[in-house]
């Protein structure tokens, strides 16, 4: 069997193309993933037993303890709220921006780069800058006072709702460009024939958008929503830097809880059990959410 | 006639409104970072809002590129500022090496796999989803075992252990890979299958079909995906914080070092944030020419 067969016969070529990803996945992800399951079923705490194989195997006991962890339940609900607010807002802003800015106009290239600049900012810097913007003497508070005539500065980080809102704003600012980038490339890549045909036949802009463009954009819409929801669920750096989860626990997200439970309280076994519970729940939700995509 | 010009006026004003909104919304925090990097320490969190730097200076940029001792010799550092960490040069070069290396690795394995999944249905409908689930795992859950695994490998050779560039490139190739597979698969799906069939009939092998026919058609998709993966790697904090110690630290970890025992050095953080924007913006400008309308236009007729 000649070596060059691998490049010539479609079935073999298909196998060849999938080999690199298999190697990397198996060596760097699958072994750690198996370890995650094992550690999740032990009561490993590194300050008691330094090595994980010395820890006591407790089976599913860790999983049974999870509903009793109030902070876990509360921070999970809060993170879901953040996702439920941020993702739709980012989607509407990014999609609208992409639809309008995909037109031909002078200076379009510059505007399109400026629109994706927020995503390029390192998230920690975003956290610090948004913190400095929302402090009582920062520009946001001053601007609102200038317009409304209030004289007292607004204490954004002292009010639980306002603090959560600033974190959502920072997330929306940072990640709207991701949606924009996906849709500007998808809208520009759409075949022009059907769209032009619709215009020639006298369809209005709105009708063409609804009946011709939207069906063709179904896949990118699903992908953008799913990827963004998964990533938004992992929000951690922004609240960590801006509020440290405060005031109280009002901006404490699930990833911060997992991080503290692992690296502050050193409950490695229990943390892994919690992470796996989240993981399995997300797999099940995602399996149904991505149904329209897998059919093709 | 009048109706057309009214609707044209309306759509033009929407365009102008969106442009102004984009500029304000996207640029104000950038403006604030830039001015913060030009403000001396007393202006970082002052008692009244300083809308622009009252005494602009470049002193925040100096600690990024010059050793502490050099600055003390020049007399530009006093008191608590002596607590600042080492220069950021090492972290900038590391970020470039790891970002580019990780992006190249991720793009290579991700694009080949996405092509096999899109055209040959390799792995059926389930495999793409399997890769997506990798992103759903909370990072902490995978980082604890990865640290165990890497420290074990590090006993064999230090280059496979903690704080090594090689390991960081592997991880930066691994973590964004589900994105590459999903985004590239959607770009491949947009290309009509007839083009593949025509190339195969005209005497291309599957390999040359992929390299010479399909890849040039998804140039825009490749550019967008590469930019996105590069940004993900460039801004990653968690992985770098846990894996790197001293040799392989990246820009986000270096920024974290500026929260010292003497307080948060916001100006220096902002300065490094502005420096870190330069490569990504250059990359963004570079891919602009691939974002052109209807690039598969006319490839298939009838």
* pLDDT tens column, B45-55: 777 778 888 88
Check CB contact under 8 Å for A268 and B44: no
pLDDT for A46:
79
Which residue bears the tokens 């399996």?
Answer: A287
Check CB contact under 8 Å for A97 and B281: no
Percentage with pLDDT > 70 across chain A: 98
pLDDT at A215 over 60: yes
Please name the residues between 214 and 243 in chain A that touch chain B, using a CB distance below 8 Å. Answer: 219-220, 223, 226-227, 230-231, 234, 236-237
Distance to chain A for B119, nearest Cα, Å:
8
Distance to chain A for B57, nearest Cα, Å:
19
Domains of chain A, residue spans: 52-290
What whole-number distance in Å separates Cα of residue B291 and Cα of residue B285? 11
* pLDDT tens digits, A116-147: 889 889 889 999 999 999 988 888 888 888 88
| Predicted model pTM | 0.87
* pLDDT tens digits, A21-71: 888 777 777 788 888 888 888 888 878 877 777 878 888 888 888 888 888
pLDDT for B152:
83
Closest chain A residue to B271, measured at CA? A125
CATH number of A52-290: 1.10.3720.10
pLDDT for A198:
86
Q: What does the block give as tokens for A276? A: 């796996």
pLDDT (mean) for A263-289: 87
Mean pLDDT of successive 10-residue segments in chain B (302 residues)? Answer: 66 84 88 90 79 84 82 71 78 93 93 86 75 82 82 84 88 88 83 83 83 84 88 89 87 87 84 91 83 49 38
pLDDT for B78:
61
Neighboring chain B residues of A138 at a CB cutoff of 8 Å: 49
pLDDT for B235:
87
Neighboring chain A residues of B171 at a CB cutoff of 8 Å: 28
What whole-number distance in Å separates Cα of residue B27 and Cα of residue B5? 32
B228 alpha carbon, distance to own chain's centre:
6
Q: Indicate the Cα dihedral angle A178, A183, A188, A194, nearest 10°.
A: 170
What whole-number distance in Å separates Cα of residue B28 and Cα of residue A134? 13
Helix (H) or strand (E) holding B104: helix B89-119
Q: What does the block give as tokens for B187? A: 């770009």
Check CB contact under 8 Å for A29 and B189: no
pLDDT at A296 over 70: no
The b/e string for A116-151 (b: 16+ C-beta within 10 A; e otherwise) is bbbbbbbbbbbbbbbbbbbbbebbbbbeeeeeeeee
pLDDT (mean) for A165-185: 91
Assess contact for B166 and B248: CB atoms under 8 A: no
Q: Per CATH, which fold does B89-290 belong to?
A: MetI-like fold (1.10.3720)
Percentage with pLDDT > 70 across chain B: 92
Assess contact for A68 and A76: CB atoms under 8 A: no
pLDDT (mean) for A156-176: 92
On average, the pLDDT of chain A sits at: 85
Domains of chain B, residue spans: 2-57, 89-290
Q: What does the block give as tokens for A71? A: 């902070």
pLDDT at A169 over 50: yes
Q: What does the block give as tokens for B221? A: 């998709």
Neighboring chain A residues of B15 at a CB cutoff of 8 Å: 100-101, 103, 105
pLDDT for B148:
82
* pLDDT tens digits, B212-259: 888 888 887 888 889 889 998 998 888 888 888 888 889 999 988 888
Contacts of A80 (CB under 8 A, 6+ apart): A233
What whole-number distance in Å separates Cα of residue B150 and Cα of residue B43? 44
For residue B220, give the nearest of A11, A125, A185 by CB distance.
A185
DSSP class of residue A42? Answer: B
Assess contact for A96 and B18: CB atoms under 8 A: yes
């Amino acid at each position: 069997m000649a070596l060059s067969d691998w490049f010539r016969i479609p079935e073999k070529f298909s196998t060849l193309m999938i080999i690199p990803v298999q190697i990397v996945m198996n060596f760097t992800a699958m072994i750690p993933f198996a370890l995650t399951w094992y550690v999740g079923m032990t009561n490993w705490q590194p300050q008691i037993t330094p090595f994980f194989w010395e820890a006591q195997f407790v089976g599913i006991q860790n999983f049974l303890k999870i509903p009793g962890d109030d902070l876990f339940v509360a921070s999970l609900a809060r993170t879901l709220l953040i996702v439920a607010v941020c993702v739709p807002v980012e989607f509407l802003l990014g999609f609208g921006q992409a639809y309008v800015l995909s037109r031909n106009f002078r200076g379009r290239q510059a505007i399109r780069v400026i629109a994706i600049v927020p995503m390029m900012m390192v998230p920690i810097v975003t956290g610090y800058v948004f913190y400095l913007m929302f402090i009582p003497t920062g520009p946001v508070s001053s601007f609102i006072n200038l317009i409304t005539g209030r004289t007292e500065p607004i204490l954004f980080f002292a009010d639980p709702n306002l603090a959560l809102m600033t974190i959502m704003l920072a997330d929306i600012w940072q990640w709207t460009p991701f949606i924009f980038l996906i849709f500007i490339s998808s809208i520009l890549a759409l075949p022009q024939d059907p769209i032009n045909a619709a215009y020639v036949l006298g369809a209005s802009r709105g009708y063409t958008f609804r009946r011709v463009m939207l069906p063709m954009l179904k896949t990118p819409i699903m992908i953008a929503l799913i990827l963004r929801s998964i990533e938004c669920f992992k929000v951690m750096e922004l609240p960590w830097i801006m509020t440290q989860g405060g005031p109280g626990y009002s901006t404490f997200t699930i990833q911060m809880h997992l991080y503290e439970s692992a690296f502050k309280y050193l409950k490695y076994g229990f943390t892994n059990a919690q992470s796996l519970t989240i993981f399995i729940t997300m797999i099940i939700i995602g399996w149904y959410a991505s149904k329209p995509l897998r059919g093709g | 006639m009048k109706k057309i010009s009214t609707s044209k006026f309306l759509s033009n004003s929407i365009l102008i409104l969106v442009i102004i909104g984009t500029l304000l919304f996207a640029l104000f925090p950038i403006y604030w970072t830039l001015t913060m990097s030009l403000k001396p320490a007393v202006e970082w969190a002052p008692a009244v809002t300083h809308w622009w730097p009252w005494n602009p200076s470049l002193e925040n940029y100096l600690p990024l590129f010059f050793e502490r001792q050099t600055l003390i010799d020049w007399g530009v550092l006093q008191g608590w500022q002596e607590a600042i960490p080492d220069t950021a040069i090492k972290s900038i070069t590391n970020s470039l090496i790891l970002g580019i290396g990780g992006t190249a690795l991720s793009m290579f394995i991700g694009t080949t796999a996405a092509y096999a999944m899109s055209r040959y249905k390799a792995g059926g409908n389930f495999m793409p989803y399997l890769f997506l689930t990798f992103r759903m795992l909370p990072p902490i859950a995978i980082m604890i075992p990865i640290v165990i695994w890497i420290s074990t490998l590090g006993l064999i050779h230090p280059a496979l252990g903690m704080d090594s560039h090689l390991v960081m490139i592997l991880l930066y190739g691994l973590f964004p890979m589900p994105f590459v597979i999903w985004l590239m698969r959607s770009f491949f799906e947009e290309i009509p299958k007839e083009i593949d069939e025509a190339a195969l009939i005209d005497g291309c092998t599957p390999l040359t079909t992929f390299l010479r026919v399909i890849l040039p058609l998804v140039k825009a998709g490749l550019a967008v995906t590469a930019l996105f993966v590069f940004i993900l790697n460039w801004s990653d904090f968690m992985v770098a914080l846990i894996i790197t110690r001293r040799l392989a630290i990246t820009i986000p970890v270096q920024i974290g070092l500026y929260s010292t025992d003497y307080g948060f050095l916001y100006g220096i953080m902002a300065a490094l944030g502005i420096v870190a924007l330069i490569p990504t913006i250059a990359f963004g400008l570079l891919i602009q020419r691939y974002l052109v309308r209807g690039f598969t236009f006319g490839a298939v007729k009838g």
